[in-house]
Structure 1
């Protein structure tokens, strides 16, 4: 996403601890290098994954590792699938998700976005 709406930020800040997980990756000096969030729906069937990595530390396996943690957590929580929404131009993220078995789908009405989903059952 190029921008996050106020409503989206509010929902992330006030996430339900029973259906969400937030991870922060730190460098050896304590600097934050990446964040990851898993947010599940109220029916506990689908969880959405989002990862942000510091620009100068991309392509070092951080995103792959964080996504593996999110997928594992979603499985342990009993979700049936996990999804991510990506800008079509974000080829590195799409490649990682595809390598982990995510399937690519168009986002209706949003030609610049794709939805990637992974069945967990």
Structure 2
């Protein structure tokens, strides 16, 4: 049993105007693929929406296919980063379009 063991960390940092928030989620390798990322991303999306953040975004390595697919399933769009082909920008507009 893993009592008291930290398995994941999530954060959102907003710009001064609270228009855009960058999300970061880190999960212990042995706890991935168990729904933790899905729950954290959903929680952060609702938290950001409740605090008036208009757009949630994250920059990812193109190689992080599992995280990118999870974010697509959660309604984020994926776009290339123009100056770096190894990265993608994932974004989601919040507000009225936020799904439960």
TM-score (normalised: structure 2): 0.91
CA offsets 1:55-84 (integer angstroms, 9 cap, x no match) = 111000000000001000000001111001
SS of structure 2 residue aligned to 1:43: coil
Q: Given the alignment, which residue of 26, 29, 40 partners 1:66?
A: 40
Indicate the residue corresponding to 1:82 in structure 2.
Answer: 56
1:37 equivalenced with 2:11 (yes/no): yes
- How many residue pairs match? The answer is 95
For structure 1, list consecutive stretches of 5 or more residues without a partner in the other structure: 1-26
- Larger RCO, structure (CA 8 Å, separation 6 or more): 2
Indicate the residue corresponding to 2:70 in structure 1.
Answer: 96
SS of structure 2 residue aligned to 1:32: coil
For structure 2, list consecutive stretches of 5 or more residues without a partner in the other structure: 96-100
Show structure 1 runs of 4+ deviating over 6 A: none
CA offsets 1:10-58 (integer angstroms, 9 cap, x no match) = xxxxxxxxxxxxxxxxx84111100001000011100010000001110
CA distance in 2, matches of 1:97, 1:88: 13
SS of structure 1 residue aligned to 2:75: coil
Q: Given the alignment, which residue of 89, 94, 97 partners 1:115?
A: 89
TM-score (normalised: structure 1): 0.75
Indicate the residue corresponding to 2:98 in structure 1.
Answer: none
Alignment of 1:12-51 (within 5 A): 28-51=2-25
